[in-house]
Amino acid sequence: MLEMEAERRQMCAMKVFAPDYYAGFRCAAGACRHSCCVGWEIDVDPETLERYRHMSSPLGEKLKRCIAPEPVPHFVLSAEERCPFLTEQNLCEIILLEGEDSLCQICADHPRFRNYWSDRIEMGLGMACEEAARLILTSPHPLRLVPVSEEWEEQPEIPSEEERALRDYRDRLLDAVAETGPAARLREYLIYRHLADALYDGRIAERTRLVDRAFERMTAGWDGQSVPDLAEKARIFSNEVEYDDEKLEQLLTETGGYRTGHDNL
- Decide: is 28 part of the binding site for ligand SF4 (CB under 6 A): yes
CB of 137 to ligand SF4, least distance (A): 14
The stretch near ligand SF4 (CB under 6 A) out of 4-12, 26-34, 197-205, 207-215 is 26-34
Which residue stretch of 25-33, 93-101, 147-155, 250-258 sits at the interface with ligand SF4 (rule: CB under 6 A)?
25-33
Binders in 126-155 for ligand SF4, by CB under 6 A: 129-131
Look at residues 144, 246, 259 and name the one whose alpha carbon lies nearest to residue 208.
259
Total interface residues for ligand SF4 by CB under 6 A? 11
Q: With binding defined as CB under 6 A, does residue 242 bind ligand SF4?
A: no
Q: Is 110 in the site for ligand SF4 (CB under 6 A)?
A: yes
Which range of residues in 6-14, 29-37, 44-52, 54-62 is near ligand SF4 by CB under 6 A? 29-37
**Residue ranges in contact with ligand SF4 by CB under 6 A:** 27-29, 32, 35-36, 110-111, 129-131
